[in-house]
Chain A
Amino acid sequence: MCRSMLWLVAACVAWAQPKPPGAGRPATAEEIKDRDITVFPDGRGLPAGKGTAGQGEKVYKSKCAVCHNDKGEGRERQYPALVGGIGSLAAQRPVKTVGSYWPYATTVWDYINRSMPFDHPRTLSADEVYAVTAFVLHLNGIVDAARELNERTLPQVLMPNRNGFVPDQRPDVKAKR
């Protein structure tokens, strides 16, 4: 599969000797910590913090409802709904939402943290992200109103569709000639 093999061999030989004065500069531990926002399903990458759905409702009302509507039902012009559709994935018209489709609560946290609110991303504190994530999951009936989500409890939340994904099955369609 290595399509650029010949070229690569030549370029690598030239690059390796004599060793150039090094491309770029070493990254410091501090700048890596600043820029690395990835959160993994096991909770790695989550910052310390906490919040409940009760606290998240306030954040949601002031910072999310303008687009996603009061109860996460979405709005016209296709602002996505954040609730609904649980159990509908095998139906004729499946409804894919955070509640029905997303496999991990950490993905919800990570997405809100990196991308939302859409017009002011990365302006929420870690506590606000925990709280508003708890509220969105509560709207879906996935966590209780009083349950505290933090860097330890968030990865333990079991999402309804956590077992809903399978690897690439293709080539699955066999055309006849």
Chain B
Amino acid sequence: MRAYGERSPYETTERVIRELTASPGTGSSRTPHQDLFGTITPSALHFERHHSGVPGIDPATHELLIHGLVDRPLVLTMDDVRRFPSFSRTYFLECGGNSIGEQSGNTQPDVQKSHGLLSCTEWTGVSLALVLREVGLKPEAKWMIAEGADAGRMARSIPIEKVLDDALLVYGQNGEALRPEQGYPLRLLLPGWEGNTNVKWLHRLQFTAEPAMSAKETAYYTELGKDGKAQIFTFVMEARSVITRPSGGQRLAPGGGFHEITGLAWTGKGKITRVEVSVDGGKAWADAVLQEPVLSLAVARFRFPWMWDGKPAVIQSRCTDETGFLQPTHDELIAVRGLNSGYHYNAIKPWQVSADGSVTHV
């Protein structure tokens, strides 16, 4: 027996860590989707993207200050937060910069490196709209500035509509307390919105009439177009899908035979309604089976039975969401956005299966 469980010593899959600078804490770690089976990302494998490292916070001393355009500025302890009625919801979380290299031509060799800044979790927390009844929002409050207690005090401005719609103050991750890397003891969760807005180690909410234009909402997480103008406040993650098995770096037994193609589809606009798979380079498409239940704003697992004839094949998936949005091809995307917008890349990802069974990126 173990007081806190560990996986079998035969299981070795892990996140890949990439520091962006020589100062630790500015990089990311990516979820190994090629090795995962379901829809929930184990907490130990949830992706990370930090700008100033991971603070070690004692929950007994952590406070959330709510101020600005409110009638009664308030300080909440973690005990105070947990006294509000809570609930659990499964939501995906994806970094706005997931797959940034796929757009510019720096194609990654496997799904962990190309799509690993995506995870899906059962989060537990309280409705921010409910908490805000305690402070009394003034009618002029149009934005909320959310700030973390990380070394760099990272901050983002969030439109009030989202705050009052479905924003959560989250303290639970897959049934236990948040991991430090996910914002322990408290984070903001904005279902379907780019990861960076889901501020971790949340310690301050300021209500204002206008956005702060902070560094991470102007210099970063803005999308530079072909004309040199950049889109700002691009919050929603649009629909996308990817095959996680067979995928880059994996190997099928040569000679053909039955294989289940499986992968993930998700959209920041609600539910995935359809996933199609092609095994002939995009000429013919057929519906994959969506594993039930398909949850709104969570990843959907799709499965597709494939009798491989043993010849080279290009396999790929494409999805549709409940708004009718169709996942584009790489060419369709860059025709509109060019090569440099970077964030929110969501095009179809083909994998090459060779006669020897090896799977590589196209």
Chain A positions within 8 Å of B, measured between CB atoms, are 1-4, 7-8, 11-12, 14-16, 20, 22-27, 31-32, 35-41, 67, 75, 77-79, 89-94, 96, 98, 101-104, 106-107, 110-111, 114-115, 118-119, 121-122, 164-177
| B residues less than 8 Å from A171 (CB atoms) | 238, 325
Q: How far is the CA of A96 from the CA of B218 in the complex (A)?
A: 11
- B66 contacts the other chain (Cβ, under 8 Å)? yes
- In whole angstroms, what is the CA distance A37 to B152 when docked? 12
Q: How far is the CA of A38 from the CA of B84 in the complex (A)?
A: 28
Given A4-B127, A26-B72, A114-B153, residue A35 in contact with residue B204 (CB < 8 A)? yes
Measured CA separation A35–B155 after assembly (Å):
13
In the assembled complex, the CB of A4 is this many whole angstroms from the nearest CB of chain B, namely 6
B94-102, B206-214, B307-315 - interface stretch: B206-214
- In the complex, the answer to whether A170 meets B238 with C-beta atoms within 8 Å is yes
Measured between alpha carbons, how far is A115 from B145 in the docked complex, in Å?
Answer: 16
Q: Which of B75, B229, B318, B336 contacts A24 (CB 8 A)?
A: B75
Instruction: Give CA–CA (A89, B223) in the complex, Å.
Output: 11
Rounded to whole angstroms, the CA-CA distance of A58 and B220 in the bound complex is 28
A27-B67, A31-B75, A172-B337 in contact; A38/B230 too (CB < 8 A)? Answer: no
The total of interchain contacts (Cβ-Cβ below 8 angstroms) comes to 199
Determine whether the beta carbon of B213 is less than 8 Å from that of A166: no
B22 partner, pick from A77, A115, A165, beta carbons under 8 A: A77
How far does the alpha carbon of A78 sit from the alpha carbon of B66 in the complex, in Å?
36
Within the complex, the shortest CB–CB distance from B265 to chain A, in Å, comes to: 14
For the A-B complex with A75-B22, A96-B219 known, give 18 more contacts whose Cβ atoms are closer than 8 Å.
Answer: A2-B165, A3-B165, A8-B129, A27-B67, A27-B75, A35-B203, A36-B67, A38-B155, A91-B228, A94-B340, A98-B219, A101-B219, A103-B218, A107-B218, A115-B151, A118-B23, A167-B233, A170-B238
Q: A121 contacts which chain B residues (CB < 8 A)?
A: 52, 151-153
Cβ contact within 8 Å between A90 and B227: yes
Contact of B218 among A8, A35, A165, A172 (CB under 8 A): A165
Give the 4 A-B CB pairs with smallest separation, nearest first. Answer: A90-B228, A115-B152, A89-B228, A27-B73
B74 touches A119 (CB 8 A): no
B62 CB to closest chain A CB (Å) equals: 13
Closest CB of chain A to B145's CB: distance in Å?
6
Main secondary structure of the interface of A (DSSP, over half): loop
Q: Which of B129, B229, B234 is most buried by chain A, counting CB atoms within 10 A of its CB? A: B229
Residues A102 and B219 in contact, CB atoms below 8 Å apart = yes
Interface string of B289-326 (1 = CB under 8 A from A): 00000001100000000000000000000100000011
B218 touches A110 (CB 8 A): no
Find out whether the CB atom of A104 lies under 8 angstroms from the CB atom of B213: yes
CB proximity to A under 8 Å, residues B54-85: 65-67, 72-77, 80, 83-85
Are A118 and B52 in contact, with the CB atoms below 8 A?
A: yes
Q: A11-B85, A38-B145, A165-B232 are in contact. Are A31 and B337 (CB under 8 A)?
A: no
Using Cβ atoms and an 8 Å threshold, which residues of chain B touch A36? 67, 204, 206
Q: Which residue of B lies closest to A79 (CB)?
A: B21
Complex contact A40–B212 (CB within 8 A): yes
A165 partner, pick from B51, B206, B226, B229, beta carbons under 8 A: B229
- Tell whether A165 pairs with B75 under 8 Å between CB atoms, given A4-B87, A8-B129, A23-B80: no
Query: What are the residues of chain B within 8 A of A90 when measuring CB–CB?
Result: 226-228
A170–B75 CB distance below 8 A: no
- Please pick, from B80, B234, B296, B326, the residue contacting A170 in the complex, using a CB distance under 8 A: B234
The distance from the CB of A41 to the nearest CB of chain B, in whole angstroms, is: 5
- B228 pairs with A167, CB closer than 8 A: no
Q: Does B327 interact with chain A (Cβ within 8 Å)?
A: yes
Residues of B within 8 A of A107 (CB): 213-215, 218-219
Mark each residue of chain B from 115 to 156: 1 if its CB lies under 8 Å from any CB of chain A, else 0. 000000000000101110110000000000101000111110
Contact B214 A24 (CB under 8 A): no
Against A, the Cβ 8 Å flags (1 = close, 0 = not) of B267-281 are: 000000000000000
B160-177 at interface with A (beta carbon < 8 Å): 165-166
Given the contacts A11-B127, A115-B152, A115-B153, A26 and B229 also touching, CB distance less than 8 Å: no
Contact B235 A168 (CB under 8 A): yes
Tell me whether B328 is interfacial, beta carbon within 8 Å.
yes
Q: Which residues of A contact B344 (CB under 8 A)?
A: 170
Residues of chain A within 8 A of B66, CB atoms compared: 27
Q: Are A32 and B73 in contact (CB under 8 A)?
A: yes
Q: How far is the CA of A35 from the CA of B133 in the complex (A)?
A: 22
Tell me how far the C-beta of B106 lies from the nearest C-beta in chain A, rounded to whole angstroms: 13
Q: With A15-B85, A110-B214, A164-B228 in contact, is A77–B21 under 8 Å at CB?
A: yes
